[in-house]
Chains A and B, each alone.
Chain A
């Protein structure tokens, strides 16, 4: 036991003190912060300076249109601007209203020297639409402008509150959006972890084998101890890195939140929404603002204690489950990284499959595909984490959770047992890489 501890300590310390580890731990959150910053900056920069003069001779707009920071609309400016003079007066564009009043389907014409950003155009359209709406309501139906505002205000407040009928007597507050975000995030995090740290285990084993230090160490400790020490040590490195990221991201985002006004963030979101190609961006942004906008009540709809403890469980055992397999592969190859690639393939397949299933399961957490793959150990760490935020025992009955956890632990014991046997032989065998047949024999022969 003492020796395993020594090995864990070495694996942990040499990695944590490594310059690349320190850099990646601190730079990754900074990178994300910078990325968000750049997006915000670019969006603002692109729309901020636009000042548009509106020439509205037939009086479509009755009152001054409300301007937001990004675009300033000036109705019938004095001195009168036209297509020749607007630039001199500091406008970047000039907008002509159709001559024949409201019912005319003539196009509104926007003149400018440069082509406008899509966001700016859609923003202007939005303003016009709103201005016209207000106008029509006031003109035709004699609605007081204050009333319009209060109706708008009221409609904006509407939100959908989901109630889930649980197994218990009382209904449970639910919020699909929050569950979706949390589930997606957790599943993805585990997916990344398996890859990064699984590969790290494999490289570590390969290093020991090609350096021939394995033989020195194995003359003082059992191969199993060396393997487990490495796996646990690297697991601890992963945990450390994640904790650091969580702390740093929290700090950075609160700093960003403090610096950048909320209004601006929403504006960025608005802008993103109107970009046709910005689907991916929008999804991420929606998730962010979704989280930001979710009321404390909605956030409370997720059983955080359960989610976090399940996350730790699936992170830990999912990592152990796969790390042992990665170690076995590492012990079976030699210097050639290409060999590692081909032997790694059968291990990375189920992980990639799991993330595909997860993306499906997050939209249908009750489907039989989601249910079964969240029980099978090869997929459960990723798929189950996507389902859990939707509610236990609502979406995930206790028996499913229990069975999934039990099978994962049994699976981890099985992969470790098999891997240890392959590892024991492979680590001391030089020359060609092992074939599947040989590895099978190492794992299941009686000795």
Chain B
């Protein structure tokens, strides 16, 4: 049973179809990537899932039941893209306050904050104020506050922006751990290398509509162009073949595109027959970045305002 299921979700603003009929489902323990260019409707979609907005149409099912914003919101941790905290409030008090708003008792909140602060080496921060923190430190704090109440669903909007590699890894590790312990994580970003690294499943939205849905590996397979890299000891005498075209020449190697009706063995055979030593042979899968650009390109970079009938 999926933890979250979204059916035909719609949200229209006066000048935009922000979310226009999006459906998907997420299994428990998945790290789910929500991708899309700026203004694609990601934030609106997330706000509906967190209960901040009501959808105009469509349904959301959370943990098998219809989504009840008032109760289910407590089992969701949401870290918005534009994040902020009270500048003048002490960090410890602020964490206590936000944890209690999520329904934790005072004692539980205190215990959990202490644990997380120790884990992230933030013990000395308790009596400091947000204005004393750097951007990265604030980010760490925000992450702690988001996951503090042990939500079943964690929504992270660009969680790594502003973090140095060390702290990025720290948070990445925590995300893996949380997923392993059964948390479901929705991860919204347009940094594709992170998505490839972290996510199990992704959807791509553009102009309020879902244009791609699947596992990272599956999508790569779907968009592969039968490109292979062949590492060779020496230049082959004959490069023409019925089986493939050469798309690129590198030092000691070629990039070949296999034609329809042929397979990898035909390519290898071609070189073996010419007694050229083969050092390596592997398939080149498109990066998500390429797929993203390919799908989104051609549509206007910035979304135009439209009238909603």
Contacts and interface: CB of A to CB of B under 8 A. Distances in A.
B52 A212 contact: no
Q: Does more than half of chain B's interface fall in helix, strand or loop, or is it mixed?
A: loop
Contacts of B85: 211, 213, 216
B80 A216 contact: yes
Contact of B84 (A7, A18, A211): A211
A173 to B, nearest CB: 52
Interface string B123-136: 00000000000000
B54 A447 contact: yes
B100 interface: yes
Given A14-B88, A14-B89, A220-B74, A6 B51 contact: no
B97 interface: yes
B100 A219 contact: no
B86 A216 contact: no
Interface centre among B70, B79, B84, B102 (most CB of A within 10 A): B84
Given A6-B100, A6-B101, A213 B52 contact: no
Interface residues of B, number: 27
Interface string B82-108: 111111110000000110111100000
Given A14-B89, A215-B52, A428-B47, A220 B98 contact: yes
A54 B84 CA distance: 78
A220 B102 CA distance: 6
B143 to A, nearest CB: 12
Contacts of B47: 215, 428
A217 interface: yes
B82 A6 contact: no
A16 to B, nearest CB: 13
Contacts, number: 62
A211 B87 contact: yes
Contacts of A447: 54
Contacts of B89: 10, 14
Nearest to B69: A222
Contact of B80 (A7, A10, A212): A212
A407 B76 CA distance: 42
Nearest to B98: A216
Rank and list the top 5 A-B pairs by shortest CB-CB distance, nearest first: A211-B84, A212-B84, A219-B78, A212-B82, A215-B80
Interface of A: 3, 6-7, 10, 14, 18, 207, 210-213, 215-222, 428, 430, 447
Given A216-B80, A219-B78, 10 more contacts: A14-B89, A207-B87, A212-B82, A212-B83, A215-B47, A215-B82, A216-B84, A216-B85, A216-B98, A221-B101
20 contacts: A6-B100, A6-B101, A14-B86, A207-B86, A210-B84, A211-B87, A212-B80, A212-B82, A212-B83, A215-B52, A215-B82, A215-B83, A216-B79, A216-B84, A217-B101, A218-B52, A219-B52, A219-B78, A219-B80, A430-B82
